[in-house]
Amino acid sequence: MQNDYSVADYLLDRLAGCGIHHLFGVPGDYNLQFLDNVIQHPAVHWVGCANELNAAYAADGYGRCQGAGALLTTFGVGELSAINGVAGSFAEYVPVLQIVGAPCRSVQQRGELLHHTLGDGDFSHFWRMYEPISAAQAVLTAQNACYEIDRVIRTMLSESRPGYLMLPADVAKMAATPPVNVITPSPLQPNEARLDSFRHRVQAMLSESPHVALLADFLAHRFGVQKMLQCWMKDSPIPHATLLMGKGLFDETQPGFVGTYSGAASPPQVREAIEGADTVICVGVRFTDTITAGFTQQLPAARTIDIQPFSARVGEEWFSGISMQDAVNTLISVCRNNPRCVLDPVPEPSARSPYHSGTLSQHTFWQTLQAFIRPGDILLADQGTAAFGAASLRLPAEVEMLTQPLWGSIGYCLPAAFGAQTACPERRVILLSGDGAAQLTIQELGSMLRDGQRPIILLLNNDGYTVERAIHGAHQRYNDIARWNWTHIPHALSHDCQAECWRVSETVQLAEALEAASHHHRLALIEVMLPQADLPDLLRDVTHALETRNS
Ligand code: TPP
């Protein structure tokens, strides 16, 4: 053991132990000394961001690809800038550890009027603001630091949601001993009797169901059953789909995959395959407004088996205390022994060839992109026409797709792409962002260039907030944005700019730019000019549903 081993080192060793090898954030005087430990740490690298909101988004993107992420901010001003991003991680079940460098314990106890406080001597305001958006919080002290670090990290991993640590500068420096074990999520103890009743109910329901379908969504990814579902669908496929939040769970080119389910706004063959089944097995699904075109799904409880992270429902009957893994294992074994759980022929979607002529529209844009995506890509689509258009893509094997349709904070995807590329430097990252969204968080393009990243960025320029125009106020000036010269931005954000930029308005130009981008070893920014009022089909239904619900 090193003599000067401290709480700071212990925390960093814990991060590395959960596979977190990059810490995103912004320095401040309350975390500067901790940052010296970060710089010296052999397995955790500091990744400075342009602001804390971006750091939170980057840690979230990193966490979705790596299993967990972390960010470091300073007290008050820093952590409150990050709060939107961490709330998104909470809503969408991404384990991100928020570490806040705070004033020393003694000055907190004296209630001194310090900078970055509200000037009232109360240092608890901000961690209390984090209570509703983190699974566990701790204010570290000399007595509790290592124990509380472990507790918060374990809860974060078990619940797949953010954890919050307030780290006073003096506590970070206190002596500690290195951890001797690895933190693992607390497993739910299997209750054999309950699992047996669950199996019997599943058997009974499936034996009366000539047609069974599988609908999986993002919680299947977050709670670690993605590979099990993929193997199941590969070995003995049944008609299966995801919702937009879970897109990328399956190889969408495999037999049985029918498409992205969006309630009444689904393509007819998807709706028929899912809603027409006698029993639908839902794994990790949450029906939220935008991805169901305003809750238009027709999946009554009596015809569904619903697998959630820590419980399951068969018809109307709930079984608590069953882990998602155990429930999926049970389903797989029952389905394998049930001759009815086989694949009925599902009509293949019509083969699509990219258009290579004419002015770009939403239709030709998505067709051209479809032809460009290859196995293993990481695709990010921001809230707006980007995410809803991406629902229609058919993703090849091992494509990871990052969207944020529940929290829906525009601008999320650009920093998240920075985080994803940091986690997976060898994979091709394709970012789809609206012009409005990009204006919120574009600064992180500078960090991408600084770190030599080479994502392909498709900046969808439809001259303002198209999705908002479709909901309300098509011609109102509140839906206009400042017109930026997008292709100049990378040069403004980097001294030695290793980027290549295109502005395309013809389909053939887009296809050529994508082709060129995939061969050049530089960051690519393609500004895609699209008609202002053009919408992907799915978004037309979604915006109609949202306008109706708000009236
Ligand atoms: N602010 C945040 C942080 N998140 C939001 N979702 C909104 C405001 C409301 N909002 C939702 S979509 C949108 C806005 C302002 C416009 C998105 O415009 P753009 O990125 O250009 O995409 P487009 O719809 O034009 O493709």
Question: Which residue CA neighbors atom 18 of ligand 1 most closely?
Answer: 465
**pLDDT tens for each residue of 223-242:** 999 999 999 999 999 999 99
Three-state SS string across 293-331, please?
CCCCCCCCHHHEEEECCCEEEECCEEEECCCHHHHHHHH
Mean pLDDT by 10-residue block, N- to C-terminus, for the chain (551 residues)?
84 98 97 97 98 99 98 98 98 98 96 96 97 98 97 97 98 96 87 95 95 97 98 94 97 95 95 97 97 95 97 97 96 85 61 71 96 97 96 96 98 98 98 98 98 98 95 94 97 93 98 94 97 92 78 74
**Residues 6 or more apart whose Cβ sits within 8 Å of residue 89:** 56, 59, 60, 63, 95, 96, 161, 162
CA-to-CA distance for 243 and 99, rounded, in angstroms? 33
Are 245 and 286 in contact by the 8 Å Cβ rule? The answer is yes
Which ligand 1 atom lies nearest to the CA of residue 440?
Answer: 3
Q: Is 29 a catalytic residue?
A: yes
- Report residue 400: phi and psi, to 5°: -100, 130
- Annotated catalytic, 61? no
Q: How many CB atoms within 10 Å of residue 234? A: 14
Probe residue for ligand 1, chosen from 467, 471, 543 as the CB with the greatest number of ligand atoms within 8 Å: 467
**Per-residue model confidence (pLDDT) at position 111:** 93
Is the beta carbon of 28 within 6 A of some atom in ligand 1? Answer: no
> Across the strands, what pairs with 241?
215, 259
The residues near 421 (Cβ < 8 Å, ≥ 6 apart) are: 378, 427, 429, 448, 453, 455
Q: Of the residues 361, 410, 529, which should be mutated to test ligand 1's pocket, given the most ligand atoms within 8 Å of the CB?
A: 410
Out of 464, 479, 500, 541, which one is annotated catalytic?
A: 464
CA-proximal residue: ligand 1, atom 16 (nearest): 465
Pocket of ligand 1 contains residue 148 by CB under 6 Å: no
Residue closest via CA to ligand 1's atom 8 equals 410
Question: Using one digit for the tens of pLDDT, what is the confidence trace for 349-404?
Answer: 555 555 568 999 999 999 999 999 999 999 999 999 999 999 999 999 999 999 99
ipTM of the complex: 0.99
Distance of alpha carbon 421 from alpha carbon 544, whole angstroms: 35
Q: Which atom of ligand 1 has the smallest separation from the CA of 539?
A: 24
The predicted pLDDT at position 408 comes to 98
| DSSP states of 181-243 | S---PPPPPP-HHHHHHHHHHHHHHHHT-S-EEEEE-HHHHHTT-HHHHHHHHHHS---EEE-
DSSP SS3 for 24: strand
Give residue 344's pLDDT: 63
Please confirm, yes or no, whether 116 is among the known catalytic residues: yes
Residue 355's pLDDT is what? 58
